[in-house]
């Protein structure tokens, strides 16, 4: 029979995935905007017979799919936050979607590069006015979407639930946007929109140059340059999300904080084994074997210290008794 005291000792299955992330709200809004634009362009394209509008509407559909997957990932992460069948929480759903999105984006970019090279050697007649209108509409929608995604209003707060931690909230009022502070799923959404913006800018520059000076080669050339830059972003995202999925060791900053916290508890502690890895957005797990010469040293002391580190959940500590040094 389990006593009430024993039941209180059951560890809560919390890896910080209960929060409604600001990123989720943003990706949901941008998905809706993209879908509305897609429907409008396809409808007007069919009504007017404009292939350019129709093609861009279909193109918007691809981005709506990617953004919708990003939003779905946040929803599923929250839905299964307490599901113990996810051993280390549900946070990796975000990285799985980010990994998938980066592959999808790389495939899209490879197609654009192929088409650009083909147009360099086989120029096509361009409908300047119609193409410019479509590119301009796409650029406005994408710029507005980027503004929504990366805006940092002074009153915006991120709330992270930390199980045994106190609830932390910190104001995000920095003017400079650091994309590295976001999770991989959100980065994927931003890169998708940025890629579409880059292609819109490239299209406008190419259309103007072809119309003004007859430089038909500039449009595919700009497309190639933009594709190389976006391909580099995609490869970086593929590596970072893949590292999380493969449980690659976490960054040096978290490792340094963990070691410092252990040494604060016991300056003579011998860290015999240490594993730290990401299990989701801003969530890390620590497993350590600590050699201690303190008689009947308790692992709870170290767990309590490590749980004070922002983003560290469920630290697993094993104490190996050491003979006191003489």
Domain count, the chain: 2
**What tokens were used for 292?**
């201690």
Instruction: Give the three-class secondary structure for 1.
Output: coil
Instruction: Give the three-class secondary structure for 278.
Output: strand
Residues 62 and 201 in one domain: yes
Please identify, among 245, 260, 293, the residue that sits at the C-terminal boundary of a domain.
245
Does a structural domain hold residue 7?
Answer: no
Residues 76 and 196 in one domain: yes
Residues 92 and 190 in one domain: yes
Please identify, among 211, 230, 245, the residue that sits at the C-terminal boundary of a domain.
245
Residues 216 and 296 in one domain: no
Does a structural domain hold residue 259?
Answer: yes
Query: What pTM did the predictor assign?
Result: 0.74
Residues 174 and 256 in one domain: no
Does a structural domain hold residue 225?
Answer: yes
DSSP string, 159-174: EE--TTSPPEEEE---
Residues 24 and 160 in one domain: yes
Instruction: Find the domain containing 61 and state its range.
Output: 13-245
Residues 101 and 154 in one domain: yes
Identify the CATH number of the domain in which residue 283 sits. 3.30.70.1350
Does a structural domain hold residue 66?
Answer: yes
Please identify, among 223, 245, 267, the residue that sits at the C-terminal boundary of a domain.
245
DSSP run (H or E) holding 188: helix 184-213
Residues 186 and 276 in one domain: no
The C-alpha atoms of residue 129 and residue 116 are separated, in whole angstroms, by 20
Residues 187 and 292 in one domain: no
Tens digit of each residue's pLDDT, the chain (326 residues): 333 333 344 456 666 655 556 778 899 999 999 898 888 878 876 776 665 566 677 777 888 888 999 999 988 888 887 778 887 888 899 899 999 988 988 888 888 788 888 878 887 776 777 778 887 888 899 899 999 988 765 444 444 444 444 334 333 333 444 555 578 888 888 888 888 887 778 778 877 887 888 887 887 888 788 788 888 888 989 998 999 999 888 778 889 999 999 999 999 999 999 999 988 877 899 999 999 988 888 899 999 999 899 889 889 999 999 876 65
Does a structural domain hold residue 239?
Answer: yes
The C-alpha atoms of residue 139 and residue 135 are separated, in whole angstroms, by 6
Residues 23 and 145 in one domain: yes
Residue with tokens 């963990």: 258
Residue 137 to residues 91, 197, 255, Cα–Cα distance (Å): 36, 10, 46
Residue 88 CB partners (closer than 8 Å, separation 6+)? 15, 279, 285, 314
């Amino acid at each position: 029979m389990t006593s009430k005291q024993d039941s209180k000792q059951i560890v809560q299955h919390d890896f910080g995935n209960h929060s409604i992330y600001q990123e989720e709200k943003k990706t949901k809004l941008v998905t809706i905007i993209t879908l509305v634009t897609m429907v409008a362009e396809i409808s007007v394209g069919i009504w007017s017979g404009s292939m350019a509008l129709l093609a861009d509407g279909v193109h918007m559909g691809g981005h709506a799919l990617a953004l919708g997957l990003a939003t779905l990932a946040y929803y599923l992460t929250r839905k299964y936050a307490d599901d113990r069948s996810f051993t280390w929480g549900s946070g990796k759903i975000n990285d799985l979607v980010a990994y998938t999105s980066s592959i999808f984006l790389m495939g899209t970019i490879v197609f654009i590069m192929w088409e650009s090279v083909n147009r360099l050697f086989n120029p096509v007649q361009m409908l300047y006015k119609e193409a410019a209108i479509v590119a301009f509409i796409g650029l406005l929608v994408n710029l507005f979407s980027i503004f929504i995604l990366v805006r940092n209003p002074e009153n915006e707060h991120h709330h992270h639930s930390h199980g045994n931690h106190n609830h932390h909230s910190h104001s995000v009022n920095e003017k400079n946007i650091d994309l590295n502070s976001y999770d991989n799923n959100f980065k994927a959404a931003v890169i998708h929109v940025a890629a579409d913006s880059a292609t819109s800018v490239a299209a406008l520059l190419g259309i103007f140059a072809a119309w003004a000076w007859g430089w038909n080669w500039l449009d595919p050339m700009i497309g190639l340059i933009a594709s190389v830059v976006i391909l580099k972003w995609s490869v970086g995202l593929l590596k970072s999300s893949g590292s999380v999925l493969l449980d690659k060791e976490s960054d040096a900053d978290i490792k340094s904080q963990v070691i410092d916290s252990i040494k604060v508890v016991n300056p003579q502690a011998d860290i015999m084994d240490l594993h730290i890895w990401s299990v989701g957005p801003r969530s890390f797990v620590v497993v350590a074997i600590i050699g201690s010469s303190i008689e009947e040293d308790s692992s709870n002391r170290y767990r309590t210290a490590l749980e004070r580190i922002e983003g560290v959940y469920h630290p697993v500590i094993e104490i190996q008794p050491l003979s006191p040094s003489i």
